[in-house]
Amino acid sequence: MPYPWISMTTDYGLVDPYVGICHGVIAGIAPDVKIIDITHGVPRQRIRQGAQTLARAVRYLPESVHLAVVDPGVGTDRRGVVVVTTTGLLVGPDNGLLAPAAEVLGGVVAAYELSAASYRLARVSATFHGRDIFAPAAAHLAAGVAPAEFGPQVFELVTLAAPKVTIGAGELATEVLRIDHYGNLVLAATRQDVRAADIGSQAIVRCPNSALSVRWANTFAGVSPGAGLLYVDSAGQLAIAINGGSAAEALQLNNEQENMVTITTTK
């Protein structure tokens, strides 16, 4: 089997049968492929967060067909695509979801539209392309069908706007890319941005309803229990946490909307 693994990243949640149905469709087409569920907990319809999550995970998986569906445009004329990268394939809607992962996987080699009827389910619904188009495509690709068989080449993929980061003097405003299960905030700003803004070893993080004092640290235990820290997380991204607590709770932020925070030096 050319690709023994398919990974899956969606906003389907685990309460409905949608994920199980996709697993079933894949099993029917490629019975020996193994599925690695990256997550089905991307916040509903949040493409950017799905893209972040996928990009963060793919480097740790064996060479795979990565199937991703966060698809507010299902049923419109947005395309479905397979993206060929240096180290694996990506399958999903062409709405920006796949681009950051493609970069992590070595860059886009080619992309093709998923239009061939022979690699879709016989009946394609208007609202569940994960089941009818994307899962079948991933399974056929894993089983060895060449990407170019799926449809015409796509020369320009949709990309997302860059996340918002504003660098000031002793101050930095940044979009929060993702809040994780522990309440840690993953930021769009980088360590370089922090240096450029001349943020010192201590700072205040502010958002509309709350604020949190943080210190630079390498590990959670680098600050006292209950204290805030600014650190580079396990994926190399700038992040904010509370040792033994939840920064998201302290700052009254959640994944339901886009969040911005301001970091002001106090050293």
Neighbouring-strand partners of residue 173: 166, 262
Amino acid at 33: V
Q: How far is the CB of 171 from a second copy (least distance, A)?
A: 26
Distance CA 129, CA 150 (A): 15
For a second copy, the closer of residues 133 and 173 by Cβ is 133
| Interface with a second copy, residue 226, by CB under 8 A | no
Cβ-based burial of 122 (10 A; exposed 0-12, middle 13-18, buried ≥19) = exposed
Q: Burial letters for 82-105: b for 16+ Cβ neighbours within 10 Å, e otherwise?
A: bbbbeebbbbbbbbbbbbbbbebb
Residues 6+ apart with CB under 8 A from 244: 220, 225, 226
Measured from the CB atom, the residue of 119 and 231 that comes closer to a second copy is 231
Q: How far apart are CA 201 and CA 113, in angstroms?
A: 49
* Among residues 146, 244, 252, 258, the one that binds a second copy under rule CB under 8 A: 244
x-marked contacts with a second copy along 113-152 as a string, rule CB under 8 A = ------------xxxx--xx--------------------
Output b/e per residue, 148-159; b: 16+ Cβ within 10 A: eebbeebeebbe
CB 136 within 8 A of CB 149: no
Least separation, in Å, of the C-beta of 153 and a second copy?
A: 26
Q: CB 98 → a second copy: shortest distance, Å?
A: 15
Indicate whether 96 belongs to the interface with a second copy (CB under 8 A).
no
Residues within window 43-62 making contact with a second copy, judged by CB under 8 A: 44-45, 53-54, 56-57, 60-62
- Structural contact between residues 60 and 88, judged by C-beta atoms closer than 8 angstroms: no
Q: CB of 100: closest distance to a second copy in angstroms? A: 13
Residue 183's φ and ψ, nearest 5 degrees, are: 85, 15
Nearest distance in Å: CB 188, a second copy: 17
Confirm or reject binding of residue 180 to a second copy (CB under 8 A): yes
Size of residue set near a second copy by CB under 8 A: 60
Per CB under 8 A, residues contacting a second copy are 4-5, 7, 9, 12-21, 23-25, 27-28, 31, 34, 36-41, 44-45, 53-54, 56-57, 60-62, 72-76, 125-128, 131-132, 178, 180-182, 218-222, 231, 233-234, 244
